[in-house]
Chain A
Amino acid sequence: MKSYRRRPGRLLGVTLTNAFMWLLVIIVVYPIIWIFINSLKSNSELFLNSFGLPSKAMFSNYIDAWNQGLSSYFMNSIIVGAVSIFFTIALGSLCAYGIARFEFKGKNFIFYLILGGLLLSPQASLVPLFRMLDFLKLYNTYWALILTYIAYRLPFAVFLMHSYFLSFPKELEDSARIDGCGTFTTFTRIVLPISRPIVASVAIMTAIFVWNEFIFALVFVEDAKMYTIPVGLANFKDALNTNWTAILAGIIIASIPIIVLYMLLSKSFISGLTEGSVKG
């Protein structure tokens, strides 16, 4: 309160700033609400009046969207995501731990080789990857996505976990080793449990990546039954013709899991994002 008296202009500043921030909230949130409201209308109501409230909430649009393919896109995304996350963490943590804790020949070379992967844009490799996956008979399988996702997420995982492993004291592991644990047991019993926050960050980042990845999923899988959420959703635009309300419902359904995840684990999200500093 003291400060207000000292500078009378401050109250105005506070009010204006808050008003401005609330305006931004509206800009961010209103489009989503608009989509949500319209997703509850019937198609003809949408065309006649896209601004009012629905005369009767049609949750059937959600059922339509779900039954017209979204359920299988969901399953595909979950399968691909779960396997990718598992292997990214398993391989990434072993790799990072090895590099952080042990000295061996060519260590730096390997480390930079892995990190170099961060520099390469997946898009630029589309044509060769496509031909390679076809050659390996993996085209149009889950593995086409899983393998490429792991390959492109590993550098990031190693990068994050490596600096984390470096930052915690070696004494813990040493004492475990004195108690008779082998290197691998030390790793699984001591190191991984302590690293839970970073593992969570990597898992979440990989989950977001898989949930949203588009171009690989578009090119490496051909059958509509195998589509993951992003490609399946884009496909809705063609397949459902003018059944727009079902598309809108699809947008909402596809967005819910990540938002829920964020609400539950927002700390790991933010740290994962900031440590990684990589977009899309």
Chain B
Amino acid sequence: MRRGLLILIVFATLISTFLVAEQVELKFLHRWPDPINQPFLENVVKDFEALNPDIKVNIQAISNDPFKEKIKIVLGTSEAPDVFFTWPGEFTNRFIRAGRIMDITDALVETGWIDDFVYSQLEPFMYEGRFYGTPYRIDAKVFMYNRLLFEKAGVDFVPETWEEFLVACEKLKKAGITPIAFGNEQPWAISHYIGTLNQKSVPEDVWLKDLDPAKGTWDHPGYVEALKMFTQLIPYFSQFPNAIKHAEARANFFAGGSAMMYVEIVEIPYVYRDAPVEFQENWGMFVFPNTGGPGNQNYLTGYPEGFVISADTKYPEQSLRFLKYLTGREVGRREYAEVGYLNGIKNLFDEDEVDPGTWDAVQLVMKAEAMANWLDSSLHARIWDVYSVQLQMLVDGVTTPEKVMQEVRKAADRVRAEF
């Protein structure tokens, strides 16, 4: 009997060591194959592997624009990654509907993991009451401006309302300064303007309903109003917006070629990395001016980006461990130090630990009542296809706001019919 027990124990130990020794491989897909983020994430993975010897993480990366196409392809293959990057909102929701993303609600709630996050940054990852991912990088859209050029043109105020904003633009233009840098070769750039204007010009409940592809009708007059307001800005933009990349326009803005630019707060690190010292010492930020429209004016446009786990993963427990590490506090602090991004963890830093630009930006985000998702990733792919084409035409002045919305409504009707 005792002998039998002994054998059993030895056997069990053998099995368990065998199990522990067996390494599982996770496939991890992100969207930053650039010389700053890539090495950072490689190091994060290395440290994670050192802490978790039973897991090996294979990193793959696809850059931003191709990512939007590739992720759909990749999720359709048998090679789907275990942990991968995504933009919350409709971009992710369609994958959730197709059953490709793992529900992590229980893991979040049961262990109290949920309390680590700033809730407003976690909420975007919720779909029909369940959580599917965690934020890796928080973001919001603000106007950056060049104080020197404002002074030169005699603009002695920071615009808070739409009227003030237009006055500032006019003054700058009169002084021979290009008021707004705008690069729209990839039309996500205009989507950020229109997303903000839509949200501010349409009552909140109508706007939220329209973002749902199963219900959206897009027939509220506020959408046309939003486009009309946008056309007021066209004379103030830099030349050839549709032929210039956003990053190119930004380089020009940093160099003093224009006075303002609508940018994401994740672009702040570029100020310290790329801009001339003169700009670094004389820039400021303000939120999109109050338009007086019927939408909630205390929203901020901008949505976190994060990571989710594939529903097909063979290693849900290991994937969760990696996700928790990747979007956790320790990585978050290093992330800021090494690549300049902030993740969604509560009280990550004290004021004296970060640069003033980032600190101000974070305060803006915390002050906002809620976040409005990016227009492009909040729309159904086929509606966005039509919308983006129409918006580029609007920039060139070859269509009218009414016609744009007519086309969008047609596309929305077709999509709605499929649900």
User: CB–CB under 8 A between A and B in the complex?
Assistant: yes
B76 touches A222 (CB 8 A): no
B33 touches A224 (CB 8 A): yes
B255 at the interface (CB under 8 A from A): yes
Interface stretch of the complex, out of A50-58, A232-240, A249-257? A232-240
Interface stretch of the complex, out of B62-70, B153-161, B188-196, B308-316? B62-70
| Chain B residue nearest to A68 in the complex (CB) | B35
Chain A 4-44 against B: per-residue CB contact (8 Å), 1 yes, 0 no? 00000000000000000000000000000000000000011
**Within 8 Å CB of B66, what residues of A?**
235, 238
B78 touches A222 (CB 8 A): no
Instruction: State which residues 34-76 of B face A: CB under 8 Å.
Output: 34-35, 60-66, 70, 73-74, 76
A68, A134, A137, A238: which has the most chain B beta carbons within 10 Å?
A238
**Within 8 Å CB of A219, what residues of B?**
73
B10 at the interface (CB under 8 A from A): no
Chain A 201-231 against B: per-residue CB contact (8 Å), 1 yes, 0 no? 0000000000000000001001111000000
Interface, chain B (partner A; CB < 8 A): 33-35, 60-66, 70, 73-74, 76-79, 245, 247-248, 250-252, 255, 274
Instruction: List 16 extra interface pairs beyond A223-B60, A240-B34, CB under 8 A.
Output: A67-B35, A68-B34, A68-B35, A137-B78, A139-B78, A222-B73, A222-B74, A223-B62, A224-B33, A224-B60, A225-B61, A235-B33, A235-B66, A238-B63, A239-B34, A242-B247
Query: Which of A67, A222, A242 interacts with B62 by CB under 8 Å?
Result: A222
Query: Shortest Cβ distance from A103 into chain B, in angstroms?
Result: 45
**Cα distance A239–B251 in the bound complex, in angstroms:** 15
Chain A 144-185 against B: per-residue CB contact (8 Å), 1 yes, 0 no? 000000000000000000000000000000000000000000
B61 touches A223 (CB 8 A): yes
A242 touches B248 (CB 8 A): yes
**Cα distance A44–B275 in the bound complex, in angstroms:** 11
B60 touches A222 (CB 8 A): yes
**Cα distance A43–B274 in the bound complex, in angstroms:** 11
Query: Shortest Cβ distance from B253 into chain A, in angstroms?
Result: 11
**Cα distance A113–B76 in the bound complex, in angstroms:** 32
A241 at the interface (CB under 8 A from B): yes
**Cα distance A46–B353 in the bound complex, in angstroms:** 36
Q: How many residue-residue contacts, CB under 8 A, span A and B?
A: 57
**Within 8 Å CB of A239, what residues of B?**
33-34, 63
Query: Shortest Cβ distance from B395 into chain A, in angstroms?
Result: 21
A224 touches B35 (CB 8 A): no
29 contacts between A and B (CB under 8 A): A43-B251, A47-B252, A68-B34, A68-B35, A69-B33, A130-B73, A134-B76, A134-B78, A137-B78, A137-B79, A139-B77, A139-B79, A219-B73, A222-B70, A222-B74, A223-B60, A223-B62, A224-B60, A224-B62, A235-B33, A235-B66, A238-B65, A239-B33, A239-B63, A241-B34, A241-B247, A242-B248, A242-B250, A242-B274
**Within 8 Å CB of B79, what residues of A?**
134, 137, 139-140, 222
Chain A 123-150 against B: per-residue CB contact (8 Å), 1 yes, 0 no? 0000000100010010110000000000
**Cα distance A219–B77 in the bound complex, in angstroms:** 12
| Chain A residue nearest to B252 in the complex (CB) | A47
**Within 8 Å CB of A69, what residues of B?**
33
